[in-house]
Copies of this chain bind each other. A is one copy, B any other.
Amino acid sequence: MEIKIMKNILDRNQNKAAEVRDLLALKKVLMVNIISSPGAGKTTLLERTCEELTKKYRIGIIEGDVTTDRDAQRLKKYNIPIVVINTEGGCHLDSHSISKVLDSFDLDNLDILFVENVGNLICPTQFDLGEAFKLAVVSTTEGDDKPGKYPMLFREAKAVLLNKTDLIPYTNFNIENFKADLSRINARVPLIGLSCTRGDGLKEWFKWLEDQFKTGIRI
């Protein structure tokens, strides 16, 4: 009974995600679904990314949060369109909520649409939003065992951003363990080390993202 209901929910989500994906392809908007644990640095990543890429691209953001608009408040200084979805306790975004808020964006004047999903390494992975791809963000302070322990996201992600590399000297994080774990889950996924507070790795991330935009919007 519960399994059937869950299947229905996922089927309906998938159908709506396909609609969203078609619409964004038509409008040539690259939608990136950013998933991480709470506090891994998604919003800081978006701050650094907006600072640089708004020079060249028209960027929009959908902020998924259980409650509050704090992340959106941090991002409004970039003068870009931002819509907040409060899930009111819900643990993930779904394609229906994305579809509804797309009306708030002028899709003809948008290049990249970031979705900052709810901070959760498990549930958001199950829900296709119609994104071009999922991006995994994980921070060194969470430990080097996360790919092995939470494989679903790392299996599906098109790239893995390892944030807070500046804190490695103060922790027992072992980059070789992390890489070995990740490569067992998803051998070819690009891994980009970042310190969003210090700036390390940002150029590599911008370049990778621009490559996705240039190739992705032609799909």
Contacts and interface: CB of A to CB of B under 8 A. Distances in A.
Interface stretch (A50-58, A75-83, A115-123): A115-123
Interface stretch (A16-24, A145-153, A207-215): A145-153
Given A141-B141, A167-B141, A70 B118 contact: no
Interface stretch (A25-33, A61-69, A99-107, A186-194): A61-69
B70 A145 contact: yes
A120 B118 contact: no
Contacts of A176: none
Nearest to A118: B122
A110 to B, nearest CB: 27
A123 B149 CA distance: 17
Nearest to A90: B122
Contact of A91 (B38, B120, B146): B120
A5 B151 CA distance: 28
Interface string A86-128: 0001010000000000000000000000000011111100100
A148 B86 CA distance: 13
Contact of A170 (B1, B5, B170): B170
A208 to B, nearest CB: 24
A207 B174 CA distance: 33
Given A38-B142, A145-B70, A170-B166, A150 B119 contact: yes
A148 B39 contact: no
A187 to B, nearest CB: 18
Nearest to A164: B141
A143 interface: yes
5 contacts: A37-B39, A70-B148, A91-B91, A120-B123, A167-B167
Given A38-B150, A39-B141, A141-B164, 11 more contacts: A2-B9, A38-B149, A39-B139, A65-B149, A70-B148, A91-B91, A91-B120, A119-B150, A141-B141, A166-B170, A167-B170
